[in-house]
Structures are given as C-alpha cells and as structure tokens.
Structure 1
Amino acid sequence: MVKVLLILLVIYSFSYGKIITGNWSDPVTPIMADYVKRLIHKAETENAEAVILTIDTPGGLDTAMRDVIKTFMGTDIPVIVYVYPPGARAASAGAIITISADIAAMAPSTNIGSASPVQMGGRDIEETMKKKVINDMVAFVKGIAKDKGRNEEVIVKMVTESLNLTAEEAQKQKVIDVIAENINDLINKVDGKKIEKNGKEIVLNLKDREIKKVEKSLKEKILTILTNPTVAYLLLMIGFYGIFFELYNPGSLIPGILGTISLLLALYSLNIISINWLGLLLILAGILFFILEVVTPTFGALAISGVIAILFGSIILIDPDSPYGDIPLQIIIPVVLFSALFFISIAYLGLKAQRRKTPTGSEGMIGMIGKAETDIDPEGKVFVSGELWNAYSDEPIKKGEKVKVISMEGLQLKVERVKDGSKI
C-alpha cells in the first residue's frame, strides 16, 4: 500500500503543472513576437497548465501582431492575456492580441480598443489603400471573435470607428471575459472555466499552481530599445555622418567605427535587415576592426570596437525559434576575449617588429661595433658584421681598436673609436 501511494505521489508531482507568466509593456514588434514564442515554448516544454501574458501596449506592427496570434493559436496550452496594471492599455494591435487569447482579462482602470490601421509614425493611410487594409483587418478580427465567442459587432467597431472601451464596458459588451485586481485574483476567477482549444475542451485548473515568470532576455531588452522609431532615426543619422567624416578625413577611425555600427543597427531598426543578418554583419565588422588594428595599430581603439561589435553580434545571432536556444554568455565572452587578445598580440608584435632596427642595409649598420683592421687616419679598413669595409674617421684610430659605425655613405662607413680604448 505504501509503495502504491509513493508511486501515485511521484506521478502526481510530475503532472503538477506550472503557470508560466510573462510581461510585455512595449509596442508590438517582432521582438514581442519572439518573446511570446519563447514564452509558449517554455510552457510546452514544462507541460504548463496555462500561460498568462500581462500587457500594456500602444499597439504596433500588423505583421508582429499576426505572428503573436498565430503562436497563441498554434499551441495546446491555454493562453490568458491580461491588460495590467491599472492604468495600462491594450490599444490597436494590442487590443486584437487581447481578444485572440483563450481568456481575455483586464484590470480595473484599463482600456482596450482604437484598432484602426495607420501607417508607421501614426500617419493616416491613403483612402483606397485604407479601405483594403480595413476590410482585411475586419475579416481577421471577425474570425477571431467568432472563434473565441466574443462580440463581433463591437470588435469590428474598434477597427472601423476606433472604438475604445473601459474594462467594465469591455466585459459588459462581451469583448473580454474577466476583470481582475491582480494575478492571484485572476487565477481565482478563471479557475474551473472551460475553454475550447484546437478541437478539445480544457478545464482550467490553476489554483495553488507554481507561478514561474519569464523575464525578457538581455537580447530582447536591447532590441526593444533599437526598434523605437526615434532611436532608429538617430542611429541612421549617426551612421551617415560617421561614414561621411571618415571618408572626408581618412584615418580618423572613430567616426568610421561609430558610423558603421550605427548604420547596421539602423538597418535592423527600420526592418531592412533581419536580426540574423544584423548579428552576422556585426561579427564580420568586429573581425574587420581587429584586422585593421593589426594593419594600422590604433592603441586599442579598433580592438575595443571589435570586441563590442562581436559581443553584440553574437548575443543576437541565433534566431529565437532555434531548438538549441541562444548562444550562452559563458561561451560568447571567452571567445570574444580570446579573439581580442589574439589580434592585439599580433598587432603588438607587428608594432614591435616595425620599431626594431633593421638587421641589414645602411640602417642596420648604424651603431654596430667592429675593429680597425688597419690604422685609420683619416681612412682605412674595419671589420664589421663579418665583413671588411672601407672606413674613415674624424680622429686617428689605431689598428686593433674597437670602432662604432655612426653613418654609412655608399659602401664606406664613418666610424669612431669606442671610448674604453680596448683592442680586439
């Protein structure tokens, strides 16, 4: 009997699912789509009971919004979107993301709506194109509303008339399911609810479950900053001016370095290149900086820039959809430091070799010590570097005395007596 109880306890412990929670309080961008994918993947990997995503967003990109909704619909894990904290909003794309969840919830003093499509920057769309975009969006939200059992008419007005609702109005008009004060209140209110998910009926069993929060990764935090339109514009201008000043004054280096990195970041911010291309190009730029440090030593300026470029490029290189996850910092940092040390060492040895006296030719002869093979007064012969040379001196030098080469004119050396006066 005891063994049976132990077995049942083990089985129960393995089936005891978590609640995975996440938070997004920024515009709807590809970074949000990647974050949601990571959130859902973690929930699926850990066999979670549900995912709760709290949001506070002014809206964002249509493509990113659709990616988020596809992720919601593609998983068997129940997804709850919660507009939180009080004072938060789910506007535009955020409103459609909220209603696409299996459970849509809001905190008091929040609002939802204003989902009319606009161009990036908030400008209105040209009339003919606007009709096409709105009709497409209306069909899209109608499908979501019907699938989730929400009020189609009101949700369509969010798109066509920029309708905006308080939490109480949204619940009354059957746009959302629950109003909750906080996460614990939300869990208590949705516990036991039945939902339809991919053809299956699921009863939410969330009370007393472990809550596990998934924070933004370093990569997601950095890229969220980059996707800000103001940041994108500033990066673009810094990039142009930096490269211009480098071309105008070749060799100044710092403007060129800043310009190159800023321009690459701006290209990503403006959705011209993907995150993977940005990572690859930054790594290549970092390697180029290292090579330039070897060729034209800059006392570390290019090397430091190379470290920054490769470090950042390595962090963002791998797609979040990769089954292997991101490259860990424990690998990235040693590789970057080794690369920096390797190239700086080469640059140092190269600089040292440039400063070393040339062992052959006229420069290599200067300062060498030899001996007088004959008396020199003012001319004679000396033996230096294993060879016999014609030489002259401004002072008499006797045969056998040490001499030092002070200059070379053609094949004749100018020498002086070594002051200790000893003979060889």
Structure 2
Amino acid sequence: METSQYASATRRVQPSAIRELFSLLSRPDVISLAGGFPSAAALDLNGLRGATERALISSLSTAFQYCNSEGYGPLRDLIAQRAKAKGIKLDASDLLITTGSQQAIDLITRVLVNPGDRVAVEAPTYLGALQTFQFQGADVLPVPTDHEGVRVEELEALVVRHRPKLLYLIPNFANPTGYVMSLRRRKQVLSLAKTHRFFIVEDDAYGELYFEEPPPPSLFALANEEERQWVVHLASFSKILAPGLRLAWLSAPAELLRHVVVAKQLGDTHAPTLSQLAAFHYLNAGSLEPALSRLRRFYQNQARAMQRAIKTELSGTPFNARPAEGGMFYWADLPFVDTTAMLRNAIEEHGVAYVPGAAFYVGQPERTRLRLSFASASVEQIGEGIRRLARCIRWERVEASNQITRAEQLP
C-alpha cells in the first residue's frame, strides 16, 4: 500500500533498529541489562493475590463493570490521602487514574500540543515520551542536563527564544541517567514556567525508589498557587506495585484536567476496574509502605552488585558511571566507542544486552553513552553480564586499534 494512504503521523516515528535487535533476547544464553521493568522477585505477589481476592469477594459485580472515567473514587481518595501525608495539597477531584503513565503522557500531549508546537525535553530523556511528542507532530527541543538535572540557564535561553508549549521532566532518578534534580533547580524551573507561561509535565515514575535519602519534594509539592497552574504531575504504580496492573495517575489544573478526561473517554473510557479495585484493597490494607521498604532494599542490593561488577571487570577501561542512588539504571560513558554500533556484537557474540544512549536523544545524540538496568536481572546475572560486557568492550577497542593500524599501512 502507498504510504500516502496512512496518516502523516505514522511517518514521524520509525521502527527502532535497536528494538529489532532485542528480538535476539529470546535466546536463553543472552543476559539482558536493558529492560527498565521490575524484577519478578521484587513484586509482592502474595499481597497482590490477597488484594485481588478481597476485590473479587467484596466487589464482584463492580470488578467487571464500567467505571468512572476519572477512576475508582475510593482509590483516588487513598492516593490523595497519601499525598497529603507527604505535605502535598491534593484532593481526589484533582486527579485522574490512567492506564499507565505512558497513556498519561499521550493524553497530555494530545490535549496541549498541535503539530508544529515546540516541546522542551531533557537531553537525554525517556524514549516513550519522545515518540509520543514526535507522533503528535511536535518540534522537540533538547535541553542539556548534568547530575543536578536540567541546566536552567540553557533552559531559560531556549524558552525565551522558542516559547515551548511544555517542558517534560523526570526529576527523580531519571530514565536513562538516574540523575536527581536539585531543590534549587526545581524552584528555578517553577519560576520560569510561571514567568514564561509554559506547562511542566513532571513524570515521577521512580521517586519512591530511593536507597538512602528521598529526593527533594516534587515540583508539584513545591509550587505555590500561581506556579501550580502550570504543573502537571504524573505518578505510577508500575514501578512500586506491579506493571501489569496498568495504573498511573495524573494531577493537573482543573480546566486542563477536564480536557484530559474527555480525551481519555475517546480512548479507553477508563482504566481497568479490576486493577483499580486490587490496588485499592492493597493500599487500604496498609500493604504499600512495607512493600516499598522491601523494594528499596532489593534494588539497592541489585545496584551495589552492578557497582561491584563494574569496579572489578571494568577498572582498566575508560568506563564512567556514577553510582546509583535510586531508581533502576546506570548511565555510563564509554569514550571512543559507538555503543549503537557495538550492540549487535554484544548480543550475538558475547550474549549481553544494554540500551545504547543514542535512543534517548532527539537531534544529535551522544553515541558513547549506554544505559544499564540492574532491575530485572539476578545478582548472579548482573555479575556475569558485566563480565561479558567488559569482554565485548575490550574486543571493540582491539578491533578499533587494528583498523587504525591497517589504515596507516595503506600506501
């Protein structure tokens, strides 16, 4: 069929050659340090089963019926109460339950962004958000980051010049970098949004997964009444409870939220009722906080295993990565190596997978970067995976040196 038969949006987002390579991960001998999803060992399966059983026993007819588009009222109440306990002024009427945070990003984008509108993002940032903005036809503008998050001076210059409609941020243990935005920069970004009238979409998927100290308060919590009119806050049960529930929530100014609810009604009408009931009974039983404590210890142990393996296996290699303080990822720099070009060799010949850093950039990517996930592999697999990665890197460096020698020997 001719491409003209399809909507123009289908040409804005192309299939990823990297994802096609990941079809090789079905091989039993390949260790994946790529996926950013919870380990099965980290899930509270018994607690989830009990919550689901209570949902079916007490609310059988409700569990298999339609639900309000905004979400199951008692669950929204519990989410709001939990937010208030953290000092966040939030009522159940201020939030919408979505089918995962990816849907929340999509809904906000469809409501706010017209083709050609400018959207600012951290460089690098979450691939799923980039694809959503591109599919909508946005002009996506990258803003440099460092270990304190988005660089505010560069952001201000971009805002003054390009007037973006929104700024998408992952301030806590960001995907892919693991960086945490400093309190100072959070306040500065809020002030910029109020002054220049652009929305901040704050994606807080990882904020609960801290190892020692929690991150600073969310931009949503820090915002005064005027600043809050420009803040959209996203949070999810996928990383802290179970991704299969497909539940997240979105808080936004009242007028914007009304439009988002209508957009959701045009999509899937409401998030899965049974999932919402299971999450309600889980939270209502007081199960979430103990589960979070266990989850933090689990991922801290995973991260330490990866740090030990990196120190042991890559100490003689120019492999630069900051120790993880939370979340699920190590963000590494491998000078003089194109990590996209190296991926096929890593998977096919060495049996290890990672995500090349180029996937997380719009415009000119940094090709020497890569993301390693310590979330879903076992401690033993992490150690062996890093050993395989080290062998692959050494092979790449030797091959690059041989190519230079051969080139120099040419007449």
TM-score relative to the length of structure 2 = 0.26
Identify the structure with bigger relative contact order (alpha carbons < 8 Å, sequence gap 6+): 2
Report which of the two structures shows the higher radius of gyration computed on alpha carbons: 1
